C-alpha cells in the first residue's frame, strides 16, 4: 500500500506541484495532500485506507453522494454504448431540455466540458451579441482560468496571494473592470463611466470562491437595473450554485426576492455533470443564435455533449427533482452549520457561518463578510489549525479558507453529529 507522502513525492517528479489543480496541494494549510483511492456515499478513502466524511464533494458536483446507484447504472449503460462519437446524440437533447425546464431564463443552451470553457464562451458571446468589449467582474469571484478573467480573482489565486496570473499580457485584461462585491456606489460609478462600452457583467450570485458570500438583494437589484438601462448583459456564473443551492439555482432564489428578476446569460457546471466533465451556458434564443453555426460567434468542442457525461448529468438532475429533496438537503446543511457555530461559541472564538441548499461556508470572523477584503481579514492560522484538527478526526474540509463546503444527500444525521463532535474537539 502506498502512503500519501510517498505518492505526493512521486507526483511532484512528474506533475507541477504534484497536483493537477493548485488548491489540492495543501499549500495554504500545510501538510501532505490525501490521495484518494475511492469514494462511497458521503465518504472518501485515501491511499492508506483511512475514511473521511467528505464536505468537498468534488467541489460541488456530488450532490447525491458518491456512487449513487441510479447514476452509476446510467453511466455503465452509456459507457457500454460508446465513450465518444463526435456526432450528435439524443441524450444531449434530453439533457438540454431538462436544464431549460428548470431554468426559465434560458431558451437555448450549449453544452461544453468545463466551467472555464462555459464562462469564457459566455463572455465571447456577450461581446459578439452587443458589439462591445468591456466587462465587469468582482474581486473574489472566480470564473475559471481564461486570460480575461484572471484579474484579482479568488479561489486558488487568492490562496497563493497573487492579484493575477503570470502569462497574461496587460493588453488582454485591459477591458476587464474589477469592482468590490456588494458595493453599489462603485457599481454605479463604473456604469456612469463605461456604460456604453460594457458588453456584460459576470458575477457569482453566491460567491463560493471567497468561501460563501451572498450578493445582497439591494446590490443585485441595482445591478439588474443598470445592466438593463445600459444594454449590458448580466451573466450569472452558476457553475457552483446551479442546482446546488436550489432546484432553480441561485437565480431562482433572487427571482423570489426581486420581482421579474432574471439574468441574461447563465453558466452552469458541476452538478449538471454529476461528477463528469460537463458544463453549459445559455440564455434567450436571439442571443444564443449568435453562436456558430447559426451566427458569427465561434465556439466548438470535440467532447462537448459527451455521451457518458450527459448520462451522468441527466440521471443526477432527475434524482434531485424528487419531492422534498432540497428541503431535506437544506435541513441537513443547516444542522451542520448550527453545530459548527455552537462549537465555536463554546470555544470562545469569533465565528460566522451561512448556507443555502447543500452549500455552506464559515469564517473565523464575525460578522459575515460582504466582500473579498473582509474575507481576507479571516484568521488564517486558526483556520489551518482547525482544518488539520478536523482532518485528523476523519473530516475532510476544503484545504483553503477561501472555499465553500458542500453537503450531499448521502450525509446522514450521524455524519453531521460526528462532524460537530470533531469540531468541538478541534476547536478546544
Let me know whether 225 and 117 are in one domain: yes
CA distance 188 to 325: 39
> CATH number, domain at 371?
3.90.1150.10
Half-sphere exposure of 52 (CA within 13 A, CB side): 25
Give the domain-ending residue among 319, 342, 370.
319
Residue 142 known to be catalytic: yes
Let me know whether 258 and 136 are in one domain: yes
Let me know whether 257 and 387 are in one domain: no
- Calculate ∠ Cα 406-113-118, nearest 5°: 80
Let me know whether 61 and 74 are in one domain: no
Let me know whether 42 and 114 are in one domain: no
Strand pairing category for 43-46 and 36-40 = antiparallel
Which of these is catalytic: 43, 55, 142, 372?
A: 142
Cα distances (Å, whole numbers) of residue 324 to 118, 329, 335, 395, 415: 30, 9, 17, 27, 20
Let me know whether 31 and 59 are in one domain: yes
Let me know whether 192 and 226 are in one domain: yes
- The per-residue pLDDT for 164 is 65
Give the domain-ending residue among 319, 340, 357.
319
CA distance 143 to 133: 18
Residue 54 known to be catalytic: no
- The per-residue pLDDT for 148 is 86
Give the domain-ending residue among 281, 299, 319.
319
Would you say 426 and 393 are in contact if contact means Cβ atoms under 8 Å apart?
yes
Let me know whether 125 and 273 are in one domain: yes
Give the burial class of 213: count Cβ atoms within 10 A of its Cβ; 0-12 exposed, 13-18 middle, 19 or more buried.
buried
Let me know whether 105 and 181 are in one domain: yes
Strand pairing category for 352-356 and 359-363 = antiparallel
Would you say 235 and 287 are in contact if contact means Cβ atoms under 8 Å apart?
no
- The per-residue pLDDT for 154 is 45
> CATH number, domain at 104?
3.40.640.10
Give mean pLDDT in consecutive 10-residue pieces for the chain, a chain of 428 residues.
Answer: 94 97 93 97 98 98 98 98 96 98 98 97 98 95 90 49 68 89 96 97 96 98 98 98 98 98 98 97 98 97 97 98 98 98 97 97 95 91 96 97 96 98 97
Residue position matching grid coordinates 462537448: 304
Let me know whether 17 and 84 are in one domain: no
Which of these is catalytic: 46, 54, 237, 264?
A: 237
Count of domains for the chain: 2
Let me know whether 94 and 175 are in one domain: yes
- The per-residue pLDDT for 163 is 43
Would you say 40 and 410 are in contact if contact means Cβ atoms under 8 Å apart?
no
Residue 331 known to be catalytic: no
Which of these is catalytic: 46, 134, 270, 415?
A: 270
Containing domain of residue 169, as a range? 69-319
Let me know whether 223 and 92 are in one domain: yes
Would you say 197 and 176 are in contact if contact means Cβ atoms under 8 Å apart?
no
Amino acid at each position: 500500500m502506498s502512503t500519501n507522502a510517498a505518492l505526493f513525492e512521486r507526483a511532484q517528479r512528474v506533475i507541477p506541484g504534484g497536483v493537477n489543480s493548485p488548491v489540492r496541494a495543501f499549500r495554504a494549510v500545510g501538510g501532505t495532500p490525501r490521495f484518494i483511492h475511492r469514494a462511497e456515499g458521503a465518504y472518501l478513502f485515501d491511499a492508506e485506507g483511512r475514511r473521511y466524511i467528505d464536505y468537498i464533494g468534488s467541489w460541488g458536483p456530488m450532490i447525491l453522494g458518491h456512487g449513487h446507484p441510479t447514476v452509476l447504472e446510467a453511466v455503465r449503460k452509456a459507457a457500454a454504448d460508446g465513450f465518444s462519437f463526435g456526432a450528435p446524440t439524443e441524450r444531449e437533447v434530453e439533457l438540454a431540455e431538462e436544464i431549460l425546464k428548470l431554468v426559465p431564463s434560458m431558451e437555448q443552451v450549449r453544452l461544453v466540458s468545463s466551467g472555464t470553457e462555459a464562462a469564457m464562451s459566455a463572455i465571447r458571446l456577450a461581446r459578439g451579441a452587443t458589439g462591445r468589449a468591456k466587462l465587469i467582474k468582482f474581486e473574489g469571484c472566480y470564473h475559471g482560468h481564461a486570460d480575461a478573467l484572471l484579474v484579482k480573482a479568488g479561489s486558488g489565486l487568492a490562496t497563493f496571494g497573487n492579484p493575477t496570473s503570470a502569462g497574461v499580457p496587460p493588453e488582454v485584461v485591459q477591458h476587464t473592470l474589477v469592482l468590490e462585491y456588494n458595493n453599489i456606489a462603485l457599481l454605479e460609478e463604473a456604469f456612469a463611466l463605461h456604460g456604453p462600452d460594457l458588453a456584460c457583467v459576470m458575477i457569482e450570485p453566491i460567491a463560493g470562491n471567497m468561501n460563501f458570500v451572498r450578493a445582497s438583494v439591494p446590490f443585485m437589484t441595482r445591478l439588474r437595473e443598470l445592466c438593463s438601462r445600459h444594454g449590458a448583459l448580466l451573466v450569472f456564473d452558476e457553475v457552483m450554485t446551479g442546482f446546488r443551492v436550489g432546484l432553480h439555482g441561485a437565480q431562482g432564489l433572487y427571482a423570489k426576492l426581486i420581482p421579474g428578476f432574471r439574468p441574461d446569460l447563465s453558466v452552469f457546471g458541476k452538478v449538471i455533470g454529476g461528477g463528469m466533465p460537463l458544463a453549459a451556458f445559455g440564455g434567450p434564443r436571439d442571443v444564443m443564435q449568435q453562436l456558430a453555426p447559426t451566427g458569427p460567434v465561434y465556439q466548438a468542442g470535440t467532447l462537448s455533449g459527451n455521451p457518458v457525461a450527459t448520462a451522468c448529468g441527466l440521471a443526477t438532475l432527475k434524482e434531485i427533482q424528487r419531492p422534498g429533496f432540497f428541503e431535506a438537503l437544506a435541513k441537513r446543511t443547516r444542522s451542520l452549520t448550527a453545530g459548527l457555530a455552537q462549537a465555536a461559541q463554546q470555544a470562545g472564538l469569533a465565528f460566522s457561518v451561512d448556507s443555502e441548499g447543500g452549500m455552506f461556508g464559515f469564517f473565523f470572523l464575525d460578522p459575515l463578510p460582504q466582500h473579498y477584503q473582509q474575507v481576507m481579514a479571516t484568521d488564517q492560522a486558526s483556520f489551518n489549525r482547525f482544518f488539520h484538527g478536523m482532518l485528523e478526526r476523519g473530516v475532510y474540509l476544503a484545504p483553503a479558507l477561501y472555499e465553500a463546503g458542500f453537503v450531499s444527500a448521502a450525509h446522514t444525521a450521524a455524519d453531521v453529529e460526528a462532524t460537530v463532535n470533531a469540531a468541538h474537539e478541534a476547536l478546544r
